[in-house]
Structure 1
Amino acid sequence: MNNAELYQRSNILQKRDALECLEEYGKRIKWKNGRIKILDIGCGDGSVTVDILKKFIPNNCEKLIGCDISENMIQFANEHHASDHTSFMVLDIEEDMPSELRESFDNVFSFYTLQWVKHQEVAFTNIYNLLKKGGECLLAFLGHMPVFDVYRVLSRSTKWKSWLKDAERFISPYHDNQNPEKIVKQMMTSIGFTSVEVECLEKTFIFPDLDALKGLVTSVNPFEIPKDLEEDFLLDYFNVLRDMHVIDHESSNVDGPIKATFNYRLIVAKGRK
């Protein structure tokens, strides 16, 4: 998940959902008057931050900062998307926050990041501490997603289990939960957030072609598969998706025409400090 160029070309699902989330929930944000400072957690290559999020924030934004755990992503983002009012920094939302960042932001956003976080309460507490009093957060992250089932299937196979031995580390904490919105709302409220709204949305995304699907799978694959095994891994990956009826494919040849339909759940959480 460190190939910024590939991710920027392949994150079509993430970009669509970030846009739809901001179109629906962005109008509910009570923006502060005066100069404001905004943080985007898990910004990746920076394209969602500048191409989508930036279009929804008001003109009184003095500073827009994107952060990500990946140094490669941040280097790419700063080289391609930084400007006078926009910058990017390395930050792990599961670690202790630098004192200079506490209570620094009027708004915190995050798209397609928090599903990777195992210590959910730590991350949400950090988000709370990053906000100024009266600040708001808008967070979108995966609940159930077929990709996580693929990880589990492959991690149990003799062929791939040594490479996917930590598969559960990369599965959303809400993947198996039928009522994740209740859990997230209770957690946010216990941390101190007010005006908490949490919804679990049923979503569908159809990949237009094989290259688009391969790009996404490769760009978000958290496992260090050796280069000489990557194509073989993709073949088995797609075979599992076919068994799950995510891929409608006549043959076993991954070079043929496909239709890949992902049905998944996206959790959207909003709260105020």
Structure 2
Amino acid sequence: MTKWCLWASSFPEGTLEWITMFNKGLKYYKSGRFHFDKIRYEYKRVIDSMNLPKNGELRVIDIGSGSGRLIHECLIPLLPKNIKEIVATDLDQSMVEFARSVNENPKVKFGVLDIGAENIPEHFYNRFDILFSSYCFQYVQDIRRGFSNCKKLLAPNGQFLMIFQFKTNYLFSIYKKMSSIDKWNKYMKEYANFTPHFSSKDPDSELKRLSKDYGLTLLDHKFEPEYQYYFPKWACLDIFQSIDFKLATIPKDQQEDYIQDFVTILSEVTNIDFSDEKTMDESIILSIPTVCVHAKNSESR
């Protein structure tokens, strides 16, 4: 029996909430790998440019680790052997628990962390030599606070690589549309005026100002507004449903209606029909404008 099966079987019988949380992590683990080739390429490109010391101990933090699969398949194989610890974090506790359940590397530790929060744990301040984050920062509503918190996490001269969606945000666009529906409005109010990150006419200047404001030196960055991913329609739906954190806030007797509306609006914002079960094995092309940011803490040791 695999480690994650043992973890699931440890729940008391009938603990529907925990089983649902486990299934959410498992669904993302199985389907959320569409971007692995891109991440692997960018991680290798930047890690090779970092000239990391081969002596001494290095500490790494990953923001938005999800199910943890990307860390093991893309990140760890590229890191030097002198990594002392890798702290894998996510906002979603169920994802953290799932990732912990499938981990077998003693260097990897797990924790819940909201990088967009007003306060982050002080024991993380100035602790990490490298910070990684892939396709997470589009979900940080206050990106300025997110950059500020990343600066706090980095040791002097510490570096980070962020890869995330800009210009569009399908999940938050769904929430924005749902905020105009009476029965869902009270659960979605904070998204009524949502604007995706770097959607201005000059995102390059916007990024440079943001980095400078928070004591970060840009080493390399690129905006790829036409970037696309190819994957099966069912995998795309699985991904969006596994990262939907609003379903848990909806009363149980309304969740079926919510899921139907969620899928309908997902089809509208992506221009892909997810309502026809007979076509779920079809391959689709989804546009995900992507920005890659390599920067360092301007403070020196």
Specify the TM-score bucket, using the shorter chain as the normaliser.
0.7 to 0.9
Note if 1:263 corresponds to 2:284: no
> How far apart, in 1, do the equivalents of 2:236 and 2:178 lie?
18
- Computed over aligned residues only, the root mean square deviation of the Cα atoms, in angstroms, reads 2.7
Amino acid in the other structure paired with 1:142: Q
Q: Is the 8 A contact 2:176 2:193 kept in 1?
A: no
* Aligned position for 1:184: 207
> How far apart, in 2, do the equivalents of 1:63 and 1:183 lie?
33
TM-score by length of 1: 0.84
How far apart are residue 78 of structure 1 and its match? Answer: 1.6
> How far apart, in 1, do the equivalents of 2:214 and 2:38 lie?
27
User: Please, which runs of 5 or more residues in structure 2 have no aligned partner?
Assistant: 1-19
Amino acid in the other structure paired with 2:72: V
How far apart are residue 151 of structure 1 and its match? Answer: 4.0
How far apart are residue 80 of structure 1 and its match? Answer: 1.2
Q: Is the 8 A contact 1:143 1:180 kept in 2?
A: no
| Residue aligned with 1:256, SS | helix
Q: How does 1:56-95 map to 2 (within 5 A)?
A: 56-93=78-115, 94-95=117-118
Q: How does 1:35-46 map to 2 (within 5 A)?
A: 35-46=57-68
Note if 1:13 corresponds to 2:37: no
Note if 1:165 corresponds to 2:193: no
Q: Is the 8 A contact 2:25 2:94 kept in 1?
A: yes
Q: Is the 8 A contact 1:116 1:170 kept in 2?
A: no
> How far apart, in 1, do the equivalents of 2:223 and 2:121 lie?
32
> How far apart, in 2, do the equivalents of 1:50 and 1:11 lie?
14
Q: Find 1:193's aligned residue among 216, 220, 226.
A: 216
Q: Find 2:255's aligned residue among 227, 242, 245.
A: 227
Q: Is the 8 A contact 2:144 2:210 kept in 1?
A: yes
Q: What do the CA deviations read for 1:78-136 (whole angstroms, capped 9, x no partner)?
A: 22115321111122212423232211111111111111112222221221121111211
Q: Label 1:188 to 1:86 Cα distance change in 2 as closer, same or farther (>3 A).
A: same
Note if 1:112 corresponds to 2:135: yes
Q: Find 1:22's aligned residue among 19, 40, 43.
A: 43
Q: Label 1:6 to 1:230 Cα distance change in 2 as closer, same or farther (>3 A).
A: farther
How many residue pairs match? The answer is: 265
Q: Is the 8 A contact 2:220 2:294 kept in 1?
A: yes
Q: Label 1:67 to 1:95 Cα distance change in 2 as closer, same or farther (>3 A).
A: farther
Deviates more, 1:198-207 or 1:144-153: 144-153
Q: Find 1:218's aligned residue among 238, 241, 251.
A: 241
Note if 1:156 corresponds to 2:184: no
> How far apart, in 2, do the equivalents of 1:118 and 1:231 lie?
23
Q: Is the 8 A contact 2:68 2:99 kept in 1?
A: yes
Amino acid in the other structure paired with 1:28: S
Q: Is the 8 A contact 2:54 2:80 kept in 1?
A: no
> How far apart, in 2, do the equivalents of 1:181 and 1:82 lie?
40
* Aligned position for 1:54: 76
| Residue aligned with 1:6, SS | helix
User: Please, which runs of 5 or more residues in structure 1 have no aligned partner?
Assistant: none
- Identity among equivalent pairs (%): 20
Bigger fraction of residues in helix: 2
TM-score by length of 2: 0.77
* Aligned position for 2:25: 4
> How far apart, in 1, do the equivalents of 2:49 and 2:110 lie?
26
Q: Is the 8 A contact 1:44 1:73 kept in 2?
A: yes
